[in-house]
Chains A and B, each alone.
Chain A
């Protein structure tokens, strides 16, 4: 048991990685699902154990293959990435339960096992990005998760899924290549790829041009992957035309992991002083973040497809997270991490609920789901809970993140920013209300009279996710304790 625990950081990634080809070999949907689910469940347990360990003990350093860092690849787990690992694997696990029923209806028959193979690979990639302490390893896992997510989106069954996947492939590859250039320049100047080692060596040469260029390339590359305005163009179509389970999984995790890497590079590797005192990173992130908050919200108001509406709302929410990062303070990082967690919960719940509706009526267009709220009361309840959380109504998880965000802005004496956050949150009422009005207050449209509640196997994960939005709005100990601890660690940096 103890040896198993000692190798937990490696198993966290290796188990889903091995499960992926096994899903392929299984050849049948049922068996492949069981393998994928076991892997995701294992990852969740492993992440919970790692999170517990890092919260109560020191950060963990694991030498992959026994090669001591900085020569070998190090897996470095502290509260910051344990938090992300927990979010990613728990969401993956719940959404997978949802996929068992929804996927056979959304992708071509006989391909379910391929779907589960790609899904576990995507999970592997995201977990790997979060856990690794090696800059180049981040790139490798970034591409594992990206390539599998392009394939997952293309499985959407509609013709537009293909063009959406292609567009994402082009932009995603450019982003990843930018990141690769940045890492290359860092290696050229420091001769190391280990993050802790990089953090030690950068301060000596921090004014040299390649180091500055590397920072620019890495920030832009990651902003592309994280869909920060104006680099978000791939996101709306990708989320709108992917299978519902994939939208839920990716909206909750994929962009969040990129934002985590941005945090890691900015604060741990380069250090807050370099990025915020020597360079104007604050403004570089702040302006697009504020535009994203408003542009995302306004675009969301005018969407006729609800999945697309939620995707634009994601653009706005990523704006909030980036805004928190741009403050460059301890409170800012904490707000960013809390919102990464809470936004994952709300978007997963909402996309799953839309998946339930899609399962019944085969569409998520707003004019076709009129009056369905009365026929599908539980799904409607999940949408209300997720919607309220999205707005930041008290007693929901969204309120907690807005609270910390506003507090962080106040601490930095940026009062106009507080006003902007509140105004954009109020504007979000418009699109959430549009959805609720259509679902509950409009007369049912023709042909939908026979629609009943979604099957139990889809409803349970949806309600669990929606419930989590309420639960973490009341009992905030877990996200706040982890985010607080992680913010302190990130602010401290590794270089000092």
Chain B
């Protein structure tokens, strides 16, 4: 049992990060903390993808006659795209947080709800 967990430690870490991030998004009222949680959540998926590209004993996927076993580069490429998407999401989210702070004067979710309820 313990060995099984240790053998797949990368997946366990990915799942733990996923839950930590997801929990932060749901439970935290501060908008910046929500964005941070979202980031952790997305990062866990990056780890999941990178893990699956690993080939035991494989080297970096650069063509060279000395090596025959390579890691699978496709998941890496895919996740580069996803990282870019993540950066764009974070940037847009933070930009929105700045605008919200400017117009409401707060970035706490419960205070925002209160202010929205009044108008």
Contacts and interface: CB of A to CB of B under 8 A. Distances in A.
Contacts of B31: 166
Contact of A139 (B34, B48, B82, B104): B82
Interface string A178-214: 0011001001100000000000000000000000000
Interface string B62-88: 000000000000110010011001001
Given A159-B104, A166-B100, A184-B49, A147 B34 contact: no
A162 interface: yes
Contact of A188 (B52, B81, B96, B97): B52
B16 to A, nearest CB: 15
A143 interface: yes
Interface string B10-27: 000000000000100100
Contact of A187 (B22, B52, B82): B52
A170 interface: yes
Interface string B37-49: 0100110010011
B82 A174 contact: no
B59 interface: no
Contacts of B81: 136, 140
A165 interface: yes
Contact of A166 (B42, B45, B97): B97
Given A177-B41, A181-B48, A184-B45, A154 B88 contact: no
A150 interface: yes
Given A154-B99, A173-B42, A163 B116 contact: yes
A166 B113 CA distance: 13
B100 to A, nearest CB: 5
A99 to B, nearest CB: 21
Interface residues on A, range: 20 to 34
Contact of A184 (B48, B92, B93): B48
Contacts of B88: 143, 147
Contacts of B99: 154, 162
Given A159-B103, A187-B75, A177 B45 contact: yes
A168 B82 CA distance: 19
A166 B41 contact: no
Tell me whether chain A's interface is mostly helix, strand or loop, or mixed: helix
B103 A184 contact: no
Nearest to B85: A143
Nearest to B116: A160
Given A139-B82, A140-B81, A187-B75, A162 B49 contact: no
A151 B92 contact: yes
Nearest to A192: B74
A150 B92 CA distance: 8
A169 interface: yes
Given A169-B96, A170-B25, A174-B25, A181 B38 contact: no
Tell me whether chain B's interface is mostly helix, strand or loop, or mixed: helix
Contact of A173 (B89, B96, B104): B89
Contacts, number: 69
Contacts of A180: 45, 82
Interface in A274-305: none
Contacts of A150: 92, 96
A184 B52 CA distance: 9
B104 A174 contact: no
B104 to A, nearest CB: 7
A140 B84 CA distance: 10
A184 B41 CA distance: 15
Contact of A162 (B42, B75, B103): B103
A170 B34 contact: yes
Contacts of A166: 31, 93, 96-97, 100
A173 B93 CA distance: 10
Nearest to A143: B85
Contacts of B116: 160, 163
Contacts of A187: 52, 74-75, 78
Contacts of B82: 139, 180
A160 B116 CA distance: 7
A147 B25 contact: no
Nearest to B72: A191
Given A174-B41, A184-B52, A169 B104 contact: no
Nearest to B107: A166
A94 B54 CA distance: 49
B43 to A, nearest CB: 10
A169 B85 contact: no
9 nearest A-B pairs in the assembled complex, by CB-CB distance:
A188-B52, A143-B85, A159-B103, A166-B96, A162-B100, A162-B99, A184-B49, A173-B89, A169-B93
Given A181-B48, A184-B49, 8 more contacts: A147-B89, A154-B99, A160-B116, A170-B25, A170-B34, A181-B45, A184-B45, A184-B48
8 contacts: A143-B88, A147-B88, A151-B92, A162-B100, A166-B100, A169-B93, A187-B52, A187-B74
